Amino acid sequence: MTQDELKTRTKEFAIRIINLCAALPDNAIGRTIRNQLIRSGCSVGANYRASCRARSKAEFIAKLGIVIEESDESSFWLELIIEAKVMKKELVAPLLAESNELTAIFAKAVISSKNKSSIINHKS
């Protein structure tokens, strides 16, 4: 997947998060989840874009670490919505699957980047 494709995918993820959050109930539980999930879900795309502008391999890996944390946190909130029966599972499950997939993609990218760094450092 290209950088531009991932930028688009993470932005679409954020939009889907926003739309889901708009449908959460307007009570204390819904507001708490809404605030946390919008923050973490939108942060995935924002921090991925920032990683694309990294000035060094270390900065790139650090930014991707934030992306992983935020996508994993999004998964947590989505799981809570399902398990607490705040919304119907069939409405939330596809977004949870996407969140888990994004976490896996970026975790693999970090591992690949670290492996490339160690190969380069080994040759020095």
Q: What is the mean pLDDT of each run of 10 residues along the chain (124 residues)?
A: 95 98 97 98 97 94 97 99 98 98 96 69 38
Claim: this prediction has a pTM higher than 0.85: yes
CATH number at 3-123: 1.20.1440.60
Q: Report pLDDT for 113.
A: 86
| Residue 42 backbone phi and psi in degrees, to 5 | -75, -30
Residue 49 and residue 57: Cα distance in Å, rounded? 15
Q: Report pLDDT for 116.
A: 73
Q: Report pLDDT for 121.
A: 40
Q: Where along the chain do its domains lie?
A: 3-123
Q: Report pLDDT for 124.
A: 38
End-to-end CA distance of the chain: 30
